[in-house]
Amino acid sequence: MSRKAAVIGLTALAPVSWGSTYAVTTEFLPPDRPLFTGLMRALPAGLALLALTRTLPRGAWWWKSAVLGALNIGAFFPLLFLAAYRLPGGVAAVVGSVGPLFVVGLAALLLGDRPSARSLLAAVAAAFGVGLVVLKAGAAFDLVGVAAGLASAAAMSAGTVLTKRWGRPEGVGPLVLTGWQLSAGGLLIAPVAFLVEGAPPALDGRGVAGYAYLALANTAVAYWLWFRGIERLTATSVTLLGPLSPITAAVIGWAALGQTLGPVQLAGMVIAFGATLVGQWTPRQPFTISEEMGEKVSMDLSGVAVRR
C-alpha cells in the first residue's frame, strides 16, 4: 500500500465515524438536546487533548485557533443540528453534501488551486449520490433549515481550506491543533447551549456511554485524523471523503435500526462512493520536453563517463 493510500484510508475513518452519530444520538442520548450534544462532543474532547499534549497556542495561533475552532466546531455543530431539527434527515444530508463544491471554490480563491473538471464532476456526483441514498419523496423544505444546512457546510468548508492554508506552528503536531480547535469550539457552544436549552439533562448509563463515544472516538480521534489528512492531502481530496458519512449512516440504519435500502438507495451509494474514489485520484504530471531533454543529456553524460 502506498503512503498516500494509507493517509486516505486513515482520513476516511473520520467521516465513517461521523456516520454513526445519528444512530448513537437516537439510541443512547436524551432527545431534543442538540446544542448540549454538540458541547459534549467538543469541549471534553478538547480539554482531554490539551491535558494530554500540555501545549497552548502562542502568538497569532491564539486567534487562528479561535477562528478554526469556530468554523470547524463552534459554528458547524449548532448549524448542523439546527438544520437536522428543521429539515427531514434526508434533506439535511443533501444540503450538507454541497460542501465539496464550497471547498473547490474556496481552494481556488485562498489556495490558488485551479478547480479541475474532474473535481467539479466528482463533487456534483457525490451530492447526487447522497441525494439518492437519503432523500425521500415528498420531503418538506424549510427555508431556515436549508439556510442553516448551507451555512454549516460553508463553515466546515472554510475551516477545511483555512486549516490547509495556515498549516500548523513548527513543532506542533495535528493532535495539539485538534485540541486547540475542539476547546475553542466547545467554549463557543457552551453559553449558547445553556441559554437555549437550560441545565444539562440527567444521564443514565446509556447516555454516559453515548457521550463518551461521541467525545472520544467520534470527535477527538476522528477530528485528529481529519486535520492530519488535510495536512497531507489536498483540501478537495479530503472533503470528497465526506459522502462516506451518509453512506455509513445508511448502512448502520439498515444493519442495526431495521431501515430498508432499496435499489435507488444502493445505486446512490455506488455513485457517491465512486465520486469519492474519483476525488482521490491524482493524474500523473505530463512528461515535459524539458524533462525529456534533461534525461537525455544525463544519459549522454553518463555514457561519456563510462566510455572514459
- For the cut 90, the answer to whether the pLDDT of residue 96 exceeds it is no
Task: Provide the pLDDT for residue 177.
Answer: 95
- For the cut 90, the answer to whether the pLDDT of residue 89 exceeds it is no
- For the cut 70, the answer to whether the pLDDT of residue 83 exceeds it is yes
Query: What distance lies between CA 27 and its chain's CA centroid?
Result: 23
Can you tell me the distance from the alpha carbon of 34 to that of 41, in angstroms, rounded to the nearest whole number?
A: 10
Going by C-beta distance under 8 Å and a sequence separation of 6 or more, which residues neighbour residue 4? Answer: 232, 233, 282
- For the cut 80, the answer to whether the pLDDT of residue 239 exceeds it is yes
Residue with the three cell numbers 453512506: 247
Nearest to 243 by CA among 103, 116, 117, 105: 103
Q: Over the stretch 182-197, which tens digit does the pLDDT of each residue have?
A: 999 999 999 999 999 9
Task: For residue 215, give the C-alpha cell.
Answer: 467525545
Higher pLDDT, 7 or 281: 7
Q: What is the mean pLDDT of the chain?
A: 83
Task: Provide the pLDDT for residue 256.
Answer: 83
Average pLDDT over residues 26-42: 88
Average pLDDT over residues 43-55: 95
Domain limits, the chain:
3-307
Task: Provide the pLDDT for residue 248.
Answer: 87
Task: For residue 125, give the C-alpha cell.
Answer: 456526483
Q: What percent of the chain has pLDDT over 90?
A: 43
Q: Over the stretch 114-160, which tens digit does the pLDDT of each residue have?
A: 878 888 898 889 888 888 877 665 555 678 878 888 888 899 999 99
Q: Over the stretch 60-82, which tens digit does the pLDDT of each residue have?
A: 999 999 999 999 999 988 887 77
Confidence of residue 274 (pLDDT cuts 50, 70, 90): very high
